[in-house]
Amino acid sequence: MPEEINAITGGAVTSDQAAPSADYGAKDIQVLEGLEAVRKRPGMYIGDQGSRGLHHLVYEVVDNSIDEALAGFCDKVDVTIHPDGSVSVRDNGRGIPTEYHPGAGKSAAEVVLTVLHAGGKFDKGAYQVSGGLHGVGVSVVNALSSWLELNIKRDGGEFVQRYERGIPVSELTRAGDSDEHGTTVRFMADDEIFSTTEYLPDILKGRLRELAFLNPGVTITFTDTRPDPSEEEEEEEEEGRPPQVKSFHYEGGIRSFVEYLNRGKETAFKPPLRIQGARDRTTVEVALQYNDSYIERVFAFANLINTVEGGTHVSGFRTALTRAINDEARRAKLLKEKDANLSGDDLKEGLTVVISVKLMEPQFEGQTKTKLGNGDVKGIVDSIVYEGLKVAFEETPEILKPIVDKAMRARQAREAARKARDLVRRGSAMNKLDLPGKLADCSNRDPSECELYIVEGDSAGGSAKQGRDRGFQAILPLRGKILNVEKARLDKILSNDVVRTIIQALGCGLGDDYDPSRLRYHKIFLMADADVDGAHIRTLLLTLFYRHMPQIIENGHLFVAQPPLYRVQEGKKVEYCYSEKDLKDTTARMDPKRTSVQRYKGLGEMNPGQLWETTMDPENRIILKVRVEDAILADELFGILMGDAVEPRREFIENHAREVRNLDI
């Protein structure tokens, strides 16, 4: 079958993959192994037993529905969080097969729910391409739920079954007749397994929106029927708020995805370029657009899995982009003979791109198994994207000049950044130079045992220096506001005194120069006042780390210190409270007549002993580990909160204002 390239207008992609059969039955379900280890070692199957693993349960069930959509048999998926905290996922696919499975001695549906790696995806008969990172499916969800209810509609009937902690407590029975088709799975995450069973709507909506972009034509609806906690606290009427419903449907696919990522920004051309093609049973789709920011945004997917560590498909895209732009810029005389070719780094600034490949046997590698390793994919993506870009530049030549002009300016800025970076290196904290931030270092030289507290203000820094354990804790007080790096090029970032102080103290460099072996502290704490200014400084610092030293977050080195909000004293008894609810519970246990409450407005109000006891002592302190649950959502939030566009920020504040607690104005 011939290869197809469609640069701009889009259209169906042809492929030489055989179409999956609509005759999907028990014969398509293959049994590979059982479920015995899932409850003993949940982290092996869903990542962890905290919030990330909890949300992964939902993704596993949704992925089954999306597989039906990929096969062409489903165009609606409904995800609902119920008032009791359970979640249901309903689709209008073919429905899990219900007939007797001859090899297992039970219904095919029960096999899917109770046997690990059982399903219709292993011989590629029922499904040609399937999503889901681990491929463990609904059986693991079943094993890690206190209960699960299955409802299947197919073959003119409606079939139901209930499980408790992975064990069927009823047979799969026919509950009645139905002319509909599809599967509904409703489950309650087991609180014996998970440290939290509280779903975060923004996390779920982010993934569902992502899947809707990647599957144009599919409508995914998210409904949250839980009561609003703020309404409970305010004792509002019993009916509470109406269900929160959000529907995701994007006929424009990943082109709409790029437009969504670039909303509120000035773009070099409209609409985004879209390139697609197929070769060797691999389909490739790319959408890209340049904006006026200094940040590159690359989101790559393989079989709908967000490959946050990149891989061969990203490498192929970068090679094609650099080659095509240089070739066409030379042909159009936008690059003169004396000009050097633009590099891949020159072309990163302001680039937003979504890359989606679908292939038969994806190979994942990397620290989190989210890096595509199929070697042949690089050449396929390179070829399809190169040819697609050439067609795009020939048909719309006016889009090339702004890309080349932006890349030339980026090249000049990179040279300035190189000089600034050299100055930072020469002023490295490793050389024990007198730093502008007055780093108070620790005596230990083993990075794995050392901590750095980045502290807001000289007053708090003084308390921290006196209260710390000098053996392993270093203090870096900040003077003045740190630059908002979301709005600045690298040369300007490196010329900012506060940023340079932080880089010198850490010793590991940033951006392309980041070297993990030179990181001097393996625990880095952001410690700021519990007020609006403190929150702003914390956000500015988080933006620096997320945009220019993301490896520090990825490797688990970044934390947020949690100083107390209140000191409550009854006679000689002293307790510290970290929230309004904590204060309410604490004072309720005490005699009001003998109780005094001190509200800490800033870290500097605590003496060194109090700061050590509450915030720095490893035995007592409360800390938050910074990690990225959803890369696309994180990128979106940093863009909204720290970018130039005012309207998205206003909309975000209006939508989330009621969720704010402990706000001092």
Strand 76-81 vs strand 219-224: parallel, antiparallel, or unpaired?
parallel
Q: Which of 516, 496, 518 is nearest to 505 (CA)?
A: 518
Q: Which of 95, 88, 122 is nearest to 109 (CA)?
A: 95
Q: Which of 269, 480, 514 is nearest to 389 (CA)?
A: 269
Catalytic residue among 164, 531, 570, 582: 531
- Angle between helix 631-642 and helix 253-261 axes, rounded to 10 deg: 40
Query: Could you confirm whether 469 is annotated as catalytic?
Result: no
Query: Could you confirm whether 280 is annotated as catalytic?
Result: no
Q: Which residues pair with 474 in a beta bridge?
A: 452
Q: Which of 180, 119, 126, 183 is nearest to 155 (CA)?
A: 180
The answer for residues whose C-beta is within 8 angstroms of residue 61's C-beta and 6 or more apart is 87, 89, 138, 141, 185, 187
Query: Could you confirm whether 529 is annotated as catalytic?
Result: yes
CB 158 within 8 A of CB 177: yes
Catalytic residue among 202, 533, 570, 605: 533
Strand 282-290 vs strand 273-279: parallel, antiparallel, or unpaired?
antiparallel
CB 535 within 8 A of CB 550: no
- Angle between helix 532-548 and helix 631-642 axes, rounded to 10 deg: 130
Query: Could you confirm whether 456 is annotated as catalytic?
Result: yes
Catalytic residue among 224, 456, 613, 636: 456
CB 152 within 8 A of CB 181: no
Q: Which of 203, 291, 211 is nearest to 248 (CA)?
A: 211
For residue 570, give the 3-state DSSP assignment. strand
H helical segments located in 454-559:
458-467, 490-494, 497-506, 532-548, 550-554
Q: What is the DSSP letter of 119?
A: B
Catalytic residue among 190, 451, 529, 613: 529
Q: Which two tokens stand for residue 116?
A: 């690990």
Q: What share of the chain is helix, strand, coil (3-state, %, to 5)?
A: 40, 20, 40
Q: Token match 């399937």: residue?
A: 130
CB 393 within 8 A of CB 324: yes
Annotated catalytic sites, by residue? 456, 529, 531, 533
